[in-house]
Amino acid sequence: MQTFSYVKAASVDKALAGAGTGKFIAGGTTLVDLMKLGVEQPPTLVDINLLPLDKIEKLPDGGLRIGALVRNSDLAWNADVKERYAVLSEALLSGASPQLRNMATTGGNLLQRTRCAYFREPSAGTPGGYGCNKRTPGSGCTALDGFHRTHAILGTSEHCIATHPSDMCVAMAALEAVIHVEGPKGKRTIPFEEFHKLPGDTPNIENALEPGELVTRVDLPKPIEGTRSVYLKLRDRASYEFALASAAVVAKVEGGHIRYVRVAMGGVGTKPWRSHEAELALTGKPVEAATFRRAAEAALASAKPRTDNAFKVELAKRCLIRTLKLATA
């Protein structure tokens, strides 16, 4: 591991001032792992664990404010989250292990890096090593014709097919969360859907954060009266595994018809995958198997499977259909 200097920031201002070319560290569950692999080599680490960003607060408009340092387990077990944003609690509890959930933070999970084996391979992007455009732009993508059973089928490009691994983000996409950031140029908010970037020809750029910007909190809007929300995750084993396909659905049914619905999918996209196509196919339609099937077809219509991950197309459809059934039952 590269040597780094370590700074503990006592305030957001001090953290921003100390950022420089370094990285912020909170839970460390992704960053320390990747530093050991040589994927991340920050010259400076700014420890932000002392910042007052560890609260979950109700907003006057009925929404919920989640500090960037709120740990995954605290968020999952929060009474408000369990009752009013069940999809988020379920998504968090389906991710990682209890130990990791005690460490991992809300802000950090937004920035979770892909589990693509080529990205994580220490030699990736170096001469003689595996190509990885995320690690070293222009070095190629070994996963395209390599091991890619777990890779993305939606939002891919010829430069990168790495899956976004977060469960929390899929739920937040369906809940239409708003991300608050603070940086050298001041404060701003980013709608969830605009936060993560498609790989395109710059897979090294994963999100909308500017250099030196810090995620300070995530706001959830007030839940729509009468909605029900569900997260379903399908994977190779029942616990402590990344999704092969997952779905987050927030839905409201009136008179046997779907009046409101938000759909997001995980394990299949290069970013947390909000499906407006599925929502369009569902809104105003009767709650029945044919409606769900049409929505699933619409959600996966633009899928670009490769040799070993083609099974994900049907798996993701069935995952979404099952989740829709549960959310509208």
Closest to another protein by CB, 73 vs 309, is 73
Q: Does 55 bind another protein (CB under 8 A)?
A: no
Binding-site member from 39, 45, 92, 153 for another protein (CB under 8 A) = 45
* Residue 103 contacts another protein per CB under 8 A: yes
Single-letter amino acid code for the residue at 328: T
Describe the strand order of the beta sheet including 245-254 as a list of residue ranges.
228-234, 245-254, 257-266, 273-274
- Give, as one character, the DSSP assignment of residue 208: S
- Which residue among 20, 28, 129, 200 contacts another protein (CB under 8 A)? 28
Binding residues for another protein, total number by CB under 8 A: 27
3-state helix, strand, coil in the chain (%, to 5): 30, 25, 45
If one asks whether residue 98 binds another protein (CB under 8 A), the answer comes out as: yes
Q: Which part of the chain contacts another protein (CB under 8 A), choosing from 23-31, 57-65, 206-214, 310-318?
A: 23-31
Q: What's the CA gap between 24 and 216, in Å, rounded?
A: 12
Q: Count other Cβ atoms within 10 Å, centred on residue 38.
A: 16
| Residue (3 or 307) nearer to another protein, CB | 3
Using CB under 8 A as the binding rule, whether residue 207 contacts another protein is answered as no
Of 11, 41, 99, 302, the residue at the interface with another protein (CB under 8 A) is 99
Closer residue to another protein, CB minimum distance, 242 or 292: 242
CB of 8 to another protein, least distance (A): 8
Q: What is the three-class DSSP state of 290?
A: helix
User: Of residues 236-275, which lie at the interface with another protein (CB under 8 A)?
Assistant: 238-240
* Spatial separation of the C-alpha atoms in residues 214 and 211, rounded to whole Å: 9
List the one residue out of 203, 214, 191, 220 whose CA is nearest residue 91.
220
Place of tokens 């693509």: 116
DSSP state of 145: G
Record the tokens describing residue 272, joined without a space. Answer: 């947390």
80 binds another protein (CB under 8 A): no
First-to-last CA distance in the chain? 51
H or E element in which residue 293 lies:
helix 289-299
Nearer to another protein, 45 or 173 (CB): 45
Among 14, 20, 38, 47, binds another protein (CB under 8 A): 47
Given 10, 11, 13, 33, the residue binding another protein (CB under 8 A): 33
The residues that touch another protein, with contacts defined as CB under 8 A, are: 1, 3-6, 8, 25, 28-29, 32-33, 36, 45, 47, 49, 73, 77, 96-100, 102-103, 238-240
